[in-house]
Amino acid sequence: MSDRIFQDINLITSADIRSLICMEDAMNAMEQAFASFSDGTSRVPQRYVSGIKNLDLLFKPAYNEKLGRIAVKIITQKKEGNFQGIPAILGVVLLLDMKTGAILAMMDGTYVTALRTGAAGGIATKLLAHKNAETLVVFGCGAQGKTQLEAVCYVRPIKRALIYDLNTEAAQQVKTEMEGKLNISIQVVKNLEHLKQADIICTATNSEKPLFSQKDISKGVHINAVGSYKPNMQEIDPSIIKSGKLFVDSRESVLKESGDLIKPISEHIFTDTIIEAEIGELINKKAGGRHDEKEITIFKSVGLGVQDLFMANAIFEKYSQQ
């Protein structure tokens, strides 16, 4: 019996996912995920993170009774060191039936993570950024950075992107791959002199100190900050957060996990009341977004298991219809 059950598990590769799910599908799934999280219909236990030598091991469960599904994601993320052709984030997502406990599918968690993270940035951009935003800046040219780029271009009329990465070769690869795909101009840059031109900034790095300061950016910019998933990590200058309008994926998670908030709160720069709302509350019309053109808006995300759940479910439903 156990052998038969194992043989029945659907193995879904990154190539399968790319053929099944477009960015519009991913954003629709993320909108449902965030809405269900903030209205309490999805349950997301606190994730477990363990440091193992040069790796972080993350275990992330979530479930939703209406869907009748459970998702568990197990991923590793390298703290340092690049291995040619091997992504910094690797893992799998298991999708289970909530009633029977059966494993419905095991899928590539690396691409699921990149896709749902990009789609989350797209949702936040759609809700908070200026409608006519044309210039995008991306810090970090890994898988997360690429899907941020794709999602923002899907919801706003981006004409030009500036990309930063400590690995210039990685940045050049992103330029080559995405410039034609998105039909925009992409420039690899090494300093902050062009940052004031940005209408939207996306940060997807493992930085332990702010990537730029308030004097480097213009009023009215929108920032998607999707790195800094641990207390020692920090991408966004506290002065930017203090003077801007902060939205998060989960109040509880960002306050426990992200150095972007943990560090300045511990230094008494601001308190946890700095959080305006969860992005799901915006989707559910329980909170307002941008009020004027000069406001700086920030979406801080550490990533939630509910995102993996709804993304995996959307993938599985499409896969089952083949």
List active site positions: 73
Burial of 2 (0-12, 13-18, 19+ CB in 10 A): exposed
Distance CA 202, CA 183 (A): 19
Strand partners, 200: 136, 222
CA distance 138 to 11: 33
Reading phi first (left if > 0) and then psi (alpha if -120 to 50, else beta), residue 225 is in beta
> What tokens does 139 get?
């810090």
CA distance 247 to 192: 25
Of 292, 294, 297, 289, nearest to 244 by C-alpha is: 297
DSSP assignment letter at 250: -
CA angle 283, 111, 170 (to 5 degrees): 110
What's the DSSP call for residue 215? Answer: G
Chain centroid to CA 125: how far?
12
Q: Are 36 and 64 in contact (CB under 8 A)?
A: yes
* Beta-bridge partners for 60: 73
Q: How far is CA 153 from CA 119, 160, 168, 251, in A?
A: 11, 10, 22, 27
CA distance 272 to 83: 38
Write out the two tokens for 105.
Answer: 């599918």
